[in-house]
Chain A
Amino acid sequence: MGRKGYERLRLNSKVWPIDHPHPAFPEEKYNWAWILNVKLIYRHSPPTAWFEAFVDSGSPWCLFHASLCRPLGMELEGGVRDDLGGIIQGPKVPMYFHRVKVVVGLEQFETMAGFSWGLTVGGILGRRGFFDNFNVSFDSSADPPTIELMRTYRV
């Protein structure tokens, strides 16, 4: 089984606020983050509006904020239940997996993604669904930093 690649999409990263400059990095007034605009489709729903999702290779799955469920016509608690936790120890919050299509640029992929009220951002693009459908490379040496995506297909 091989993998076939298509056109590359190169995007600038986006700035993300910080409360105050970190004492270890006093010159940095904000962070650069790998953020992509995505839309979601559930069954035959119209797509959501574009919203920002963080690219996160540390996340096993794609995750989205639960407030997107109602406009998609999705019953949150009808999904497959799990608990969402972070790498910092703390209470876990429920999340529910649903099969959705995720639109990135002109591409889309289908995946089981978790939805939770506990997510602090609109979305996270993790390994299952995103990283197994795109060859992703980061260039932090560029100014601004860039991210390059190439959709891959199993053949």
Chain B
Amino acid sequence: MAPEERIAALKKAPSNSWVAFSEDESRLVAYAATYEEAVSEAQGRGVADPVLVKVPEDWAVRVMSA
């Protein structure tokens, strides 16, 4: 998946949701409200081992430290 495609897929996702991509991350598979729903939807669409992304509340730039 090209960087622009990944950006578009992530920015379309609702805030605080989860996005599932295919095993090789070449394709968007599902949007879901929870981790469990995202896994379930991906597996229901034939993607046994999806890659999940937790979508933040917004896309503000954050300094990654805790």
Contacts and interface: CB of A to CB of B under 8 A. Distances in A.
Contact of B52 (A16, A49, A84): A49
A54 interface: yes
Contacts of B3: 15, 30, 144
A61 B65 CA distance: 10
A59 interface: yes
A51 interface: yes
A48 B63 CA distance: 27
B39 A88 contact: no
A88 B63 contact: yes
Interface residues of B, number: 29
A52 interface: yes
A84 B66 CA distance: 7
B36 A87 contact: no
A82 B64 CA distance: 19
B64 A30 contact: no
A108 B64 CA distance: 23
Contacts of A126: 66
B34 interface: yes
Contacts of B59: 16-19
B38 to A, nearest CB: 8
A40 B49 CA distance: 14
B52 A122 contact: yes
Interface centre among A48, A63, A84, A121 (most CB of B within 10 A): A121
Interface of B: 3-4, 6-7, 10-11, 20, 34-36, 39, 42, 49-54, 56-66
Interface of A: 14-19, 22, 29-31, 33, 37, 48-52, 54, 56, 58-61, 63, 65, 67-68, 70-71, 84-88, 119-124, 126, 144
